[in-house]
Amino acid sequence: MNVRGLLDILKAEDEFEGFIRAADEARARGVGDCVHLRGLIEFSNYCRKDCLYCGLRRSNAALPRYRMAPGEIVEAALEGARMGLGTVVLQSGEDAWYTAGIIEKIVGSIKEQSGLAVTLSVGDRIKRDYALWRRAGADRYLLKHETSDEALHWTMRPGCGLGDRLRNLEWLMDLGYEVGSGIIVGLPGQGIESIARDVSFMRDLGVHMASAGPFIPHAQTPLKGCEPGSVDLTLRVIAAMRLELPWANIPATSALGTLDPLAQLTALGCGANVLMPDITPGPYRKMYEIYPGKVGSLETPAQSFARCRKIVESAGLAVGTGQGGCARLPGRAGRSMANDWTDRKDA
């Protein structure tokens, strides 16, 4: 589907029900009726970057900062395995304290002691680091491009070009990771055309995982006082992603559940097939404040896990077993977007 077709879907009014039904059917055909639970461990809230929309930005001096010790991270992952999870997602701000070697050892230790799939989400690094972690056993990597609108990207992520993100995404694909990208819906200055282009961008890149979460303003950022993103539009984006990327693992994001307690359940009927219970140990979970009031931040890991299971059951779907990887083989499947971007820049 071209961008105009996607735009029609995102704006659809009369045909909205049919569109959602089609996305739900595409989910059943593409990835089946199981919802995979990924245990999220947010191990450091230090970040060297200064994204305007994010509470972890380095300029936020009001946020108490923490780092989990490597052994604590491994133990949290093993606890996730004992709960019955098949995947852990190790996520942090861009924190250079965790050298490539430290992350390599954490990944290796988890892989040695469990059958878990390990997803990393630690931001922009050099290709050698990504390669080291892949060799240590990391299976997947999440690196959201946030917005493919080049000017908006530059404004929202000062000092960070879209082209660099694209290059990193392609490195990750070349290294054989299952690769995830994603967007924020409702950033100030973001048009609906740009969101349609984001969906088409992720399809063309051939990502294995795709996510969309609504923008939620944080009081300690320059975007405080801006309107949050629309839950309805985010659900439409999820449905459009499912239609365009039938093979992909697509989460019902926590940001949706933060704005509307029923929205993650609704998202499972719009094509989503993943939930991410937060299994970060108690003392830290409230401090990973990308946006305020995150759903589940006052729960224990076991309560987050139980709430996610309940959402799946309420949707009439089954909780997936095993690692729940993408059926599409790792590696670069789509066309080179970084080259496209470079060509445009040079034209």
Residues that bind ligand SF4 (CB under 6 A): 47, 49, 51, 54, 56-57, 93-94, 123, 290
Q: Which is nearer to ligand SF4, 149 or 244 (CB)?
A: 149
Q: Which is nearer to ligand SF4, 47 or 276 (CB)?
A: 47
Q: Which is nearer to ligand SF4, 134 or 153 (CB)?
A: 153
Helix-, strand-, coil-residue percentages of the chain, each rounded to 5: 45, 15, 45
Q: Which is nearer to ligand SF4, 246 or 251 (CB)?
A: 251
Q: Does residue 271 contact residue 35 with C-beta atoms inside 8 Å? A: no
CB of 161 to ligand SF4, least distance (A): 14
SS3 213: strand
Q: How far apart are CA 29 and CA 247, in angstroms?
A: 9
Q: Which is nearer to ligand SF4, 144 or 236 (CB)?
A: 144
CB of 40 to ligand SF4, least distance (A): 14
Where are the alpha helices (H) located in 92-149, listed in sequence order?
100-113, 127-136
Q: Which is nearer to ligand SF4, 39 or 93 (CB)?
A: 93
SS3 47: coil
Q: What angle, 0 to 180 degrees and rounded to 10, lies between the N-to-C axes of helices 301-314 and 70-83? A: 40
CB of 202 to ligand SF4, least distance (A): 18
Q: How far apart are CA 79 and CA 347, in angstroms?
A: 52
CB of 49 to ligand SF4, least distance (A): 4
Q: Which is nearer to ligand SF4, 31 or 226 (CB)?
A: 226
CB of 2 to ligand SF4, least distance (A): 30
> For 127-214, where are the E strands, in sequence order?
140-142, 178-185, 209-214
Q: How far apart are CA 309 and CA 275, in angstroms?
A: 9
Residue with tokens 């490539």: 100
CB of 73 to ligand SF4, least distance (A): 17
Q: How far apart are CA 148 and CA 165, in angstroms?
A: 10
Q: How far apart are CA 225 and CA 345, in angstroms?
A: 34
Q: Supply the Cα-derived Rg of the chain in whole angstroms.
A: 19
Residue with tokens 């290294």: 175
Q: Does residue 86 contact residue 118 with C-beta atoms inside 8 Å? A: no
Q: Does residue 207 contact residue 241 with C-beta atoms inside 8 Å? A: no
Q: Which amino acid is at 252?
A: A
Q: Which is nearer to ligand SF4, 200 or 221 (CB)?
A: 221
Q: Which amino acid is at 281?
A: P
Q: Which is nearer to ligand SF4, 49 or 67 (CB)?
A: 49
CB of 216 to ligand SF4, least distance (A): 12
Q: Does residue 185 contact residue 210 with C-beta atoms inside 8 Å? A: no
SS3 108: helix
